[in-house]
Amino acid sequence: MNIFVAFVLAIISSMLMDNVVLSRFYGICPFLGVSRKVNSSLGMGVAVVFVIMLATLICWPFYTYILVPAGIPFMDTVAYILVIASLVQLTGLFIKKYSPSLYKSLGIYLPLITTNCAVLGVAQGNTDQGLSFLDSIANGLGTSIGFLLIIVTFSCIRTRLETANTPKAFKGLPIALITAAIMAIALVGLQGLFSGIKL
């Protein structure tokens, strides 16, 4: 089995089987808060993909080639949050200054991403589990695309739920959470999809 297939399989498995929101529980806040409209969830999802990829590309080398040789691997959380927050601010600054149209569609979601667990969770998880650089990229890509996929799907369901006849006590968040539970059960069905493939 060559590296490329392993890479693709790693992406798919962290995208679907081990989905960020529905089985690893990162980024529930934007998942519940920004999923009212399909457009806003799409914007949020794309912004998250961008920031997660950049953060993965910076954090892993930073940890491996600077923090570990210096003997201060325990500073990882501080370093990651600094990297992520600066990245978000710099990207926002750049977009704000040079591309108003992009700012209009993506810019407003950027400040929300600093406090999105998914970004820090991926960066931290990569180094905590001791993944290689290639695996980290696969994990970052899979996780962020999985987030985009789930948040857009969920917002489509929620727009239908708004008009559905739900019991009064379940209106709003409770029914959304039950829907998320059913989606999680559906994804459990994919578990073991690659178990026959020998890597």
Q: Which of residues 70-109 bind another protein (CB under 8 A)?
A: 70-72, 74-83, 85-86, 89-90, 92-93, 96-97, 100, 103-104, 107-108
The DSSP secondary-structure symbol of 32 reads: H
Contacts with 192 (C-beta within 8 Å, 6 or more apart), sequence order: none
Nearer to another protein, 156 or 188 (CB): 188
Q: Per-residue x/- marks for another protein, 156-175, CB under 8 A?
A: -----------xxxxxxxxx
Nearest in space to 148 (alpha carbons), one of 53, 7, 9 = 53
Binding region for another protein (CB under 8 A) out of 131-139, 141-149, 155-163, 182-190: 182-190
The smaller minimum CB distance to another protein, of residues 29 and 199, is found at 29
Comparison of 34 and 145: residue with beta carbon closer to another protein: 34
Q: Is 36 in the site for another protein (CB under 8 A)?
A: yes
* In the complex, minimum distance from the CB of residue 99 to another protein, in angstroms, rounded to a whole number: 8
Residue 24 or residue 38: which is nearer to another protein going by CB? 24
Part in contact with another protein (CB under 8 A); list of ranges 5-13, 19-27, 139-147, 148-156: 19-27
Half-sphere exposure of 26 (CA within 13 A, CB side): 26
d(CA 197, CA 199): 6
Residue 84 to residue 124: CA distance in whole angstroms: 11
Instruction: Report which of 165, 182, 56, 75 is spatially closest to residue 119, judged by C-alpha positions.
Output: 56
Question: 128 to 147, contacts with another protein by CB under 8 A?
Answer: 128
Cβ-based neighbours of 18, under 8 Å, separated by 6 or more: 24
The distance of closest approach from Cβ of residue 3 to another protein in the complex, given in angstroms and rounded to an integer, is 26
Residue with tokens 């970004």: 119
